């Protein structure tokens, strides 16, 4: 949709499905391909409801019944959907829902590992 507003593309219709305008909400949540991914991840219930994608994130992050990493995994899956959409646009291969979920989990593990503060042992400290 932004590309349409910026006059980069002439038609706001999502090329991949031809069924909706290429908004963030459509591409990440409403499009057939996106729905496949969320269903595969057992997270389709999290992307239901009114509002924009940011509203979905807000609801997911603020619900005390949700696990603390739900928002992280939703964001990582969304990023994988968006990234693959752009890869396909530039001639890349369309990933399956399972591949996108695996990639999201792997990237989230790598991110979390990078956040861990290395344990400094007493003998490593300068005297
Ligand atoms: Zn679509």
Q: What value does the mean pLDDT take over residues 20-24?
A: 90
Question: Is 123 a domain residue?
Answer: no
Q: What's the CA-to-centroid distance between 4 and ligand 1, angstroms?
A: 15
pLDDT score, position 8? 60
Question: Is 14 a domain residue?
Answer: no
Q: What's the CA-to-centroid distance between 95 and ligand 1, angstroms?
A: 15
Question: Is 16 a domain residue?
Answer: no
Question: Is 4 a domain residue?
Answer: no
Q: Quick one: which of 84, 98, 108, 97 has its CA closest to 27? A: 84
Sign of CA dihedral 57, 62, 64, 68: positive
pTM: 0.80
Domain that holds residue 37: 30-115
Question: Is 45 a domain residue?
Answer: yes
Question: Is 80 a domain residue?
Answer: yes
Q: Which residues surround ligand 1, an ion (CB under 5 A)?
A: 14, 17, 31
- Total tally of structural domains belonging to the chain: 1
Please say if the pLDDT value at position 1 is more than 60. Answer: no
pLDDT score, position 3? 60
């Amino acid at each position: 949709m932004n590309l349409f507003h910026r006059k980069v593309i002439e038609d706001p219709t999502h090329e991949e499905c031809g069924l909706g305008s290429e908004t963030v909400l459509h591409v990440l949540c409403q499009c057939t391909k996106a729905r496949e991914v969320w269903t595969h991840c057992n997270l389709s219930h999290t992307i239901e409801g009114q509002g924009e994608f940011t509203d979905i994130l807000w609801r997911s992050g603020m619900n005390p019944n949700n696990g603390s990493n739900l928002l992280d995994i939703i964001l990582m899956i969304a990023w994988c959907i968006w990234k693959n959409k752009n890869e396909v646009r530039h001639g890349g291969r369309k990933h399956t829902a399972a591949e996108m979920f695996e990639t999201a989990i792997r990237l989230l593990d790598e991110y979390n590992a990078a956040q861990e503060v290395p344990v400094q042992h007493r003998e490593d400290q300068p005297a």
